[in-house]
Amino acid sequence: MPRVTNGVATKKRRNRVLRATRGYFGNKSRLFRYAKDAMWRAGKFAYRDRRRKKTEMRQLWIVRVNAACRANGMSYSRFMSGLKKLSIEMDRRSLSELAIRDMGAFGEIVSQVRALA
């Protein structure tokens, strides 16, 4: 009975890893042992940062809304509290876009919140 070495599957696995690490610096793109480690590490960072991206975007929206509020003479916390009291249900992303694209409309919302206080 002939000896089976599973060489086809091994070669396929190695090529898959080397294709995934194409463009990496040095041995990490050429040698399987180092490419495997680099791919594993890159995957960990990708997994972590897909979750971190959501936090960073929310922080960015808050910074933008805060800057627009301060330009209209109001603090971010008082503005968000006023929106909640007025039952204006706009998320931070849409408020941020409004502050960037249409400062007049954002100013109207700030004036409504200021009238409440």
What is the per-residue pLDDT for 42?
97
What is the per-residue pLDDT for 50?
98
What is the per-residue pLDDT for 65?
97
What is the per-residue pLDDT for 2?
86
pTM: 0.80
What is the per-residue pLDDT for 1?
81
Domain covering 7-116, topology: c-terminal domain of poly(a) binding protein (1.10.1900)
CA distance 8 to 28: 23
Domain boundaries, the chain: 7-116
> What are the residue ranges of helices labelled H in the chain?
7-20, 32-71, 76-85, 92-101, 103-116
- Over the chain (117 residues), the average pLDDT of each successive run of 10 is 90 97 97 97 98 98 97 96 94 96 95 90
